[in-house]
Amino acid sequence: WLMASRPEYDLDTISFDPAMFTIDTYNLDKVSSFIDLKDDPEDLPKWSTYAKELTWRPSLFDDIFLKIAEDEEYGITFAKLDMSLLLAPYDGGFDLILPSSNKVQEWRNKFKEWLPYEGGFL
Lowest mean pLDDT among 3-12, 50-59, 61-70, 84-93: 3-12
The region, left, alpha or beta by phi > 0 then psi within -120 to 50, assigned to residue 109 is: alpha
Contact 96, 107 (CB under 8 A): yes
CB atoms within 10 A of CB 2: 20
Q: From the centroid of its chain, how far is CA 69?
A: 12
Rounded to two decimals, what is the model's pTM? 0.74
More confident of the two residues 85 and 8: 85
Mean residue pLDDT across the chain: 79
DSSP readout, 47-65? Answer: EEEEEE-----TTTTHHHH
Residue 28's Cβ-count burial label (10 Å; 0-12, 13-18, 19+) is buried
In this prediction, residue 16 carries a pLDDT of: 44
- How sure is the predictor about 11, in pLDDT bands with cuts at 50, 70 and 90? very low
How far is Cα 122 from Cα 120, in angstroms, rounded to an integer? 7
- How sure is the predictor about 15, in pLDDT bands with cuts at 50, 70 and 90? very low
Phi, psi angles (nearest 5°) of residue 51 = -155, 160
Give the pLDDT confidence of 30-67 residue by residue, as tens digits.
888 777 677 665 666 677 888 999 998 999 999 899 98
